[in-house]
């Protein structure tokens, strides 16, 4: 494998033959996914090439306001996608606030500690990992909470009939939803270095960074993902649960 920072076109063309393996299995097993695979690969290539040129242009800016605008834009898009995964009232607003608070809290610590600089070429890649992880976590939280309020309706209504307020009646559902959102990130940390080599660490090593330094960066990434997931899941679930009740504190 080429360990330099430059990869020539011929290497990419030869590597593209690997796609044929997926197409072969799809055809052999009659999965009828050949068209989807080809379209997905073509779209992925076009999107990545476009992203490369856009980032090359963006990283030339060192204006903090421009960097902040990009963060807000990324957060809004992540919130929009997270909101679509759960049929929850005001999901977009809740998602945006949750992801924003989680991202700002984590980035603030990283910037003030001197780990990264508040410049686009460092903030954007790091924020992308943080925000996307929070987006996935919130999607799981919303889905789990909606499912639990539906499946445990009788349990919640019983607590309400006995005089409990909506928070005590929902606390187990809230905690279960937060746990569901956090578990994938927690589980991924358990396999780091044993089952998987994370993308950031692998990329740094392939770019010529020493494995020890690459590991240091990956440890920081692990910390920031855990932090953002916990903060975002906690805020989203506690902002969300009351939307399952009406003004009379009845379960909708």
Examine residue 1 and state whether it is found in any structural domain, yes or no: no
| Parent domain of 17 | 7-58
| Structure confidence at residue 101 (pLDDT) | 95
Do 17 and 75 lie in one domain? The reply is: no
The region, left, alpha or beta by phi > 0 then psi within -120 to 50, assigned to residue 176 is: alpha
| Structure confidence at residue 1 (pLDDT) | 41
The domain tally of the chain equals 2
Do 93 and 124 lie in one domain? The reply is: yes
The DSSP secondary structure of 218-245, one letter per residue, reads HHHHHHHHHHHHHHHHHHHHHHHGGGGB
Do 43 and 133 lie in one domain? The reply is: no
| φ and ψ at residue 247, rounded to 5 degrees | -65, -20
| φ and ψ at residue 251, rounded to 5 degrees | -70, 125
Question: Quick one: average pLDDT of 84-109?
Answer: 88
Examine residue 127 and state whether it is found in any structural domain, yes or no: yes
Q: Is the dihedral of CA 202, 203, 204, 210 positive or negative?
A: positive
The region, left, alpha or beta by phi > 0 then psi within -120 to 50, assigned to residue 114 is: left
Burial classification of residue 150, based on how many CB atoms lie within 10 Å of its CB (0-12 exposed, 13-18 middle, 19 or more buried): exposed
Do 141 and 49 lie in one domain? The reply is: no
Do 179 and 148 lie in one domain? The reply is: yes
List pLDDT tens digits, range 169-198: 889 999 999 999 999 888 888 777 666 666
List pLDDT tens digits, range 97-143: 999 999 999 999 988 888 888 888 888 888 888 999 999 999 999 99
Examine residue 251 and state whether it is found in any structural domain, yes or no: no
| C-alpha distance from residue 132 to each of 75, 139, 224 (Å) | 9, 11, 12
Do 96 and 177 lie in one domain? The reply is: yes
Query: Could you give the percent of the chain with pLDDT greater than 90?
Result: 29
């Amino acid at each position: 494998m080429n360990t330099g920072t430059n990869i020539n076109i011929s290497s990419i063309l030869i590597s593209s033959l690997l796609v044929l393996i997926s197409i072969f299995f799809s055809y052999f097993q009659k999965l009828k996914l050949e068209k989807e695979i080809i379209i997905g690969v073509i779209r992925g290539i076009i999107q990545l090439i476009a992203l490369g040129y856009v980032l090359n242009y963006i990283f030339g800016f060192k204006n903090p306001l421009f960097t902040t605008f990009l963060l807000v834009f990324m957060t809004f898009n992540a919130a929009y996608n997270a909101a679509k995964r759960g049929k929850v009232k005001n999901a977009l607003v809740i998602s945006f606030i949750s992801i924003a608070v989680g991202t700002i809290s984590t980035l603030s610590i990283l910037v003030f500690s001197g780990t990264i600089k508040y410049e686009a070429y460092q903030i954007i890649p790091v924020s992308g990992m943080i925000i996307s992880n929070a987006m996935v976590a919130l999607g799981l939280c919303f889905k789990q909470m909606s499912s639990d309020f539906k499946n445990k309706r009788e349990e919640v209504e019983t607590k309400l009939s006995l005089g409990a307020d909506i928070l005590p009646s929902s606390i187990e559902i809230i905690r279960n939803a937060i746990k569901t959102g956090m578990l994938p990130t927690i589980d991924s940390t358990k396999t780091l270095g044993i089952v998987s080599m994370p993308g950031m660490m692998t990329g740094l090593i392939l770019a010529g960074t020493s494995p020890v330094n690459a590991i240091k960066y990956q440890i920081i990434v692990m910390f920031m993902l855990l932090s953002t997931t916990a903060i975002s899941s906690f805020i989203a679930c506690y902002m969300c649960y009351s939307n399952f009740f009406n003004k009379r504190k009845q379960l909708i």
